[in-house]
Chains A and B, each alone.
Chain A
Amino acid sequence: DSGVTQTPKHLITATGQRVTLRCSPRSGDLSVYWYQQSLDQGLQFLIQYYNGEERAKGNILERFSAQQFPDLHSELNLSSLELGDSALYFCASSLGQDSYEQYFGPGTRLTVT
């Protein structure tokens, strides 16, 4: 158990809808990272937040957004969902903004029908 929690575990929704994925980092960690894992794209870095501020941006679509709250939990919002958004979404956390170790949560499996 990495100490990173993600909810929900599974999510099934229809195209065009909007969903919110939630992540709680390990106790004491200030950075949260979001990743998308799909069969065709592999594991892709989406975005990083550090202590409430956006720190780095990867291959995140404009339809997706994220935020980190004062209690350090983070939410990833996915809107106007398409079939191709079906994937595993992982959250990871680390102590600092440039920490070399990241700890991953169990993931949220999103299925768009």
Chain B
Amino acid sequence: GEDVEQSLFLSVREGDSSVINCTYTDSSSTYLYWYKQEPGAGLQLLTYIFSNMDMKQDQRLTVLLNKKDKHLSLRIADTQTGDSAIYFCAERDNYGQNFVFGPGTRLSVLP
């Protein structure tokens, strides 16, 4: 079945870049997503990328997709303390019927 893997923890210094990595197994995934979850809150859609794209940039966020290796990454430039949260990678299957989420990466931003 489909599976999405992420490392569970990442710590960075304020002002540095953060890179959160994700691997997925379903080669027919059409869309790949990054969501942010702050403590006590729901998931906030950060960005998404279509499977026919290699890169997408949106202000401080850069998403890179390596379809051959089924690897997705989220780079946050100039990381701020407000970026501390759990970041979920998710894939959507080709039939548009199911989202599969990774376990989430807890990003801690140190002053």
Contacts and interface: CB of A to CB of B under 8 A. Distances in A.
A44 to B, nearest CB: 8
Interface stretch (A14-22, A75-83, A104-112): A104-112
Interface of B: 30-31, 35, 41-45, 48, 88, 92, 96-104
A4 B43 CA distance: 11
Given A43-B88, A105-B42, A58 B98 contact: yes
Task: State which size class the interface on A falls in.
Answer: 20 to 34
Nearest to A97: B96
B44 A48 contact: no
Contact of B96 (A58, A98, A104, A107): A98
A2 B88 CA distance: 17
B5 to A, nearest CB: 11
B88 A45 contact: no
Interface of A: 2, 4, 33, 42-45, 48, 55-56, 58, 90, 92, 97-98, 100-107
Given A43-B101, A45-B98, A56-B97, 17 more contacts: A4-B42, A42-B101, A43-B88, A43-B104, A45-B99, A58-B98, A98-B97, A100-B31, A100-B48, A100-B96, A101-B45, A104-B35, A104-B42, A104-B45, A106-B41, A106-B42, A107-B41
